[in-house]
Amino acid sequence: MVSLMAYHGLKWLSLRLPLLMGICCADAALWAAPPLDDAASRISNSFRCPEELRSQEAKEASLHEFMEAYRRDFPDKTVGDLMRFRYRLLVSHACTQTLAFMLEDVDPLSEMLRVANRDFGPRTEEFDPKTKVWTVRFNKDGLPPSQSEESLLFNFYGWNPPVSPEAIANAFISPREDLHILGKFGAPDEITKARAYFIVSETLYPGEKYGYLNISKITSVGKSAYTVTFTRVIMGESTKEIAEKGKAWYLSEEGKAISDTVNRTGVDASWEEHFAENK
């Protein structure tokens, strides 16, 4: 375990100040986090939301001050500890604009995301050598996939050769036994303004007492495409009941709010470089 005092990553962090104002790591179930000790309380008392500061210079100075205070009071903690603590402060101080920005500009440093007042993460990555697709997953409250009732997934389809959102959308809606399309349409991506494809679907397994309601946006990043999907487990005694409950949830106020959130979710183009490094 490398200490912050000895870690050259502090310089690395400084070079990414604008990112860190929105990037976070976090402990799952923040509401169950232990109380702050005296040193942490002092830092918390002086903490200000980035959106409260008018200029970029003030935001950078505030972040530097936070980092130095944390390094001084917790010399043996890691960079991950620092980032987790910062996320905890962003949530406890209700820094809603910064938390929203994190979702609009997800990049390879993102470890936790705030979605509809829920904590998703830590992030996991998986590469499928058959499909050449990278899947970046954020499970609600850090639970394993088998226990998480909600997840936010990002599928990246590669840059060589580039793939268009339209091609991915056409493949997405191709007939599959377990996937049922509830609706699909094309519209401008709220983030990039480029054409995106929105698909609502249900994953149903005959004989099982669970299924999934999926809300997906397929859009572009750099020269290629990616999909962001919010998926929710739906329980029921039959496939028919699960299908009906999934449709009802999607049409509820909560479902509409999640749909709007998916539309406002975006990623940074640095994912191309990130996956190239992990090739």
**Six token digits for residue 51:** 């959106």
The pLDDT of residue 123 is 86
pLDDT digits over 58-75, tens only? 999 998 999 999 999 999
For residue 232, pLDDT beyond 90:
yes
Quickly tell me which residue has 């993460």 as its tokens. 121
For residue 18, pLDDT beyond 50:
no
For residue 254, pLDDT beyond 50:
yes
As a whole-number percent, the residues of the chain with pLDDT over 90 amount to 58
The pLDDT of residue 279 is 64
Query: Do residues 77 and 70 make contact, with C-beta atoms less than 8 angstroms apart?
Result: yes
User: Rg of the Cα trace of the chain?
Assistant: 20
Nearest residue to 203 (alpha-carbon basis) of 184, 231, 238, 170: 231
96 and 112 housed in the same domain:
no
**Six token digits for residue 8:** 């050259």
82 and 116 housed in the same domain:
no
Segment 225-234 mean pLDDT: 97
pTM, to two decimals: 0.80
Domain limits for position 249: 106-277
C-alpha 141/C-alpha 209 separation (Å) is 23
The pLDDT of residue 87 is 82
213 and 90 housed in the same domain:
no
Residue 132: how many CB atoms within 10 A of its CB?
12
Is 265 contained in some domain? Answer: yes
Is 1 contained in some domain? Answer: no
pLDDT digits over 165-177, tens only? 999 999 998 888 8
Specify the DSSP class assigned to residue 99.
H
The pLDDT of residue 111 is 81
- DSSP, collapsed to helix, strand or coil, labels residue 128 as strand
85 and 145 housed in the same domain:
no
The pLDDT of residue 70 is 92
The domain boundary residue, chosen from 59, 79, 101: 101
Is 16 contained in some domain? Answer: yes
Instruction: Please report the DSSP string for 37-51 in residue order.
Output: -HHHHHHHHH---GG
17 and 114 housed in the same domain:
no
Read off φ and ψ for residue 146, nearest 5 degrees: -70, -15
The domain boundary residue, chosen from 56, 73, 101: 101
pLDDT digits over 113-134, tens only? 999 888 998 889 999 988 889 9
Is 81 contained in some domain? Answer: yes
137 and 80 housed in the same domain:
no
Peptide bond preceding 188: is omega within 30 degrees of 0, i.e. cis? no
Is 140 contained in some domain? Answer: yes
The pLDDT of residue 40 is 87
184 and 228 housed in the same domain:
yes
114 and 96 housed in the same domain:
no
- DSSP, collapsed to helix, strand or coil, labels residue 171 as helix
As a whole-number percent, the residues of the chain with pLDDT over 70 amount to 86
C-alpha 63/C-alpha 77 separation (Å) is 17
Among 1-10, 64-73, 83-92, the range of highest mean pLDDT = 64-73
Segment 245-257 mean pLDDT: 96
Segment 202-227 mean pLDDT: 95
